[in-house]
Structure 1
Amino acid sequence: MDISQRLSFFAALYRVDENPELGMWMLYLTITLLSILVYKLGFAKTLPIGKSVLIYLFLILGCTVLTALGVFLPMAEGLVVAALILIIYKMRLRLHKKQEMDAG
C-alpha cells in the first residue's frame, strides 16, 4: 500500500512522506498558526498577560498531538474551515453593528 495516497492535503503538500523532518515541522507550524487564528477569532478575551501566556503555551503543546493526527486526518483542513466560518461571522457581525449604528 502506498502511504502517499493516505496523507491529508497539507501533509501531502508538505511532502511528509519524502522529507519527514521538514514536512512535519511545516505541518506543525501550519496547525499551530491556524489554531491560534481560530482561538483569536472565536474564543479569545482580554486576559492578564500571565494567563494569556499559559493559554498559548498549552495551545502550542496541544498542537503537537494535532500534528501527529494531522498526517492522515484532516486536522489542518478542519482548522481552515473553522477559521473561514469565524471570519465570515465576524465580518457579518461588524456589518450588522455598523448598520445598527447608522440606523440609531
Structure 2
Amino acid sequence: MSYVHEFILDTFGVENIFWIFYVINLFLSAIAYKLGFAKKLPIAKNIIVYILLMIGVFVLTIFSTVMRMPTVECLIVIIVVLGIYRLRLHNERKD
C-alpha cells in the first residue's frame, strides 16, 4: 500500500532497492531532526548524533523495504507538519 515503494520498484526495479530506500530515509530523517529536535551542539556531539541516526535509519529501512510499511510517506508528513510549526513559530516570534 506504499505509493513510494511501488513507484521506486517500477522505476528502478529490485536491484539496490534497500540502499535507495536507505538514502531516502536518511535524507528525510535528517531533515525531520533538523526541523524538530536539533539544538546547537558542538561538532563532535553533532557527528555522534548523525552516526546514531544512520544506525537507526538502517532499522527503519528494513521496515520500509521488507515489511513494505509506508515510512517514507510518514517522514514526508512529519516534515510538512514540522515545517508548518517552525514557520508559525517564526511568525509568532517576529511579531
**Scaled by the length of structure 1, what TM-score is found?**
0.80
Match of residue 20 from structure 2: 26
Identity of aligned residues (%): 36
Alpha-carbon distance between aligned partners in 1 of 2:25 and 2:64, rounded to the nearest angstrom:
8
Look up the SS of the partner of 1:15 in the other structure: helix
Q: Give the CA deviation at 1:21.
A: 3.0
Which of 75, 79, 82 aligns to 2:75? It is: 79
1:80-99 pair list within 5 angstroms: 80-99=76-95
Q: Give the CA deviation at 1:24.
A: 2.0
Look up the SS of the partner of 2:15 in the other structure: helix
1:51 corresponds to 2:17: no
Alpha-carbon distance between aligned partners in 1 of 2:79 and 2:27, rounded to the nearest angstrom:
11
The structure having more radius of gyration, on CA atoms, is 1
Look up the SS of the partner of 1:14 in the other structure: helix
Alpha-carbon distance between aligned partners in 2 of 1:22 and 1:91, rounded to the nearest angstrom:
36
Relative contact order, CA 8 A, sep 6+: which one is greater?
2
Match of residue 70 from structure 1: 64
Note if contact 1:38-1:82 (Cα within 8 Å) is conserved in structure 2: yes
Superposition RMSD in Å: 1.6
Unaligned runs of 5+ residues in structure 2 are none
Alpha-carbon distance between aligned partners in 2 of 1:89 and 1:96, rounded to the nearest angstrom:
10
**Scaled by the length of structure 2, what TM-score is found?**
0.87
